[in-house]
């Protein structure tokens, strides 16, 4: 199955800084999503982005499918951005198994 | 508010006991999923359903059973709990297959923290 690797595993930033999280995947994808898990454990879907670029407020994501990676950008970080960011991908239309990476833990310091 | 509701939120079981986790969604989603989250391993799919009356195995199905008798409910059962099943369990639902599409994606419940002693 597809392998999904995320980097860095941990990131500590001052409030107001910008950050870039990376997701590498081992196969061509037809589904790639980014999720945020807040410190209370709640998982929120951020982007569905198998290719191209999307933006939602201070967050944006870019997937370069031909080079098998996706980037999540967070600008002007706020303490509420803290948590774990997961990338998940799949390469098979008939398979329900969305493979998750192990996540990037982001800590924003006031 | 619309969403996915999981019950219970916390549970401690003794080895060999059984229990059922309930997931309910009110968004009329066809697809429902059960995941487990273990430290350092991300989320892994246990079972899923593509519609009322259907279930299928995911990546780590052993030791679990599921049922989808009503479209809005997806139950996860542990017949004989083992310490290896200590984990946080998440239910999710989606309108489309794997949450594909422009505005579609997974909606997750708040999780059930299960400890088997």
Tens-digit pLDDT profile for residues A52-104: 999 999 999 999 999 999 999 999 999 999 999 999 998 765 566 788 999 99
Any B CB within 8 A of A35 CB: yes
Q: What are phi and psi of B16, to 5 degrees?
A: 95, -15
Mean of per-residue pLDDT scores for chain A: 92
Give which of B43, B47, B51 to mutate to test A binding, by max A Cβ within 10 Å.
Answer: B43
Q: Are A96 and B45 a contacting pair at CB < 8 A?
A: yes
Give CA–CA dist A86/B42, Å, rounded.
Answer: 8
Determine whether the interchain pair B45/A97 forms a contact, defined as Cβ–Cβ distance below 8 Å. yes
Locate B38 and state its tokens: 């273990």
Contact check, Cβ <8 Å, B43/A41: no
User: What pLDDT, on a 0 to 100 scale, did the predictor assign at position A64?
Assistant: 96
8 A C-beta contact, residue B27 and residue B95: yes
Does B99 contact A44 at a Cβ distance shorter than 8 Å? Answer: no
Whether A43 sits inside 8 A of B106 (CB atoms) is yes
Model pLDDT, residue A81: 97
> B42 with A86: CB under 8 angstroms?
yes
CB contact, 8 Å: A12 with chain B?
no
Residues in chain B: 117
Q: How far apart are CA B35 and CA B45, in angstroms?
A: 4
> By percentage, how much of chain B surpasses pLDDT 70?
91
How near does any CA of chain B get to the CA of A29, in Å? 12
- What residues in A contact B40, CB-CB < 8 Å? 102
Q: What is the pLDDT of residues B49-104, one digit of tens each?
A: 999 999 999 989 999 999 999 999 999 999 999 999 999 999 999 887 666 665 56
The closest CB to that of B42, out of A33, A50, A103, belongs to A103
CB contact under 8 A, B56 and A96: yes
The verdict on A51 touching B (C-beta cutoff 8 Å) is no
């Amino acid at each position: 199955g597809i392998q999904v690797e995320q980097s860095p595993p941990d990131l500590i930033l001052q409030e107001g800084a910008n950050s870039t999280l990376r997701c590498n995947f081992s196969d061509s994808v037809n589904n790639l999503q980014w999720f945020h898990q807040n410190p209370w454990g709640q998982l929120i879907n951020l982007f569905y982005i198998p290719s191209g670029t999307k933006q939602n407020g201070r967050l944006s994501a870019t997937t370069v499918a031909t080079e098998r990676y996706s980037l999540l950008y967070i600008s002007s970080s706020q303490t509420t951005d803290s948590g774990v960011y997961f990338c998940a991908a799949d390469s098979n239309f008939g398979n329900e198994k969305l493979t998750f990476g192990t996540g990037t833990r982001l800590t924003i310091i006031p | 508010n619309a969403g996915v509701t999981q019950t219970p939120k916390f549970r401690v079981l003794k080895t060999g006991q059984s229990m059922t986790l309930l997931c309910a969604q009110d968004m009329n989603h066809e697809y429902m999923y059960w995941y487990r989250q273990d430290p350092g391993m991300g989320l892994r799919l246990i079972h899923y359903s593509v519609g009322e009356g259907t279930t299928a195995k995911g990546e780590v199905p052993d030791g679990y059973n599921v049922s989808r008798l009503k479209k809005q409910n997806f139950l996860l059962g542990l017949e004989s709990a083992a310490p290896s099943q200590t984990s946080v369990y998440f239910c999710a639902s989606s309108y489309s297959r794997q949450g594909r599409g422009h505005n579609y994606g997974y909606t997750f419940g708040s999780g059930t923290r299960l400890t088997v002693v």
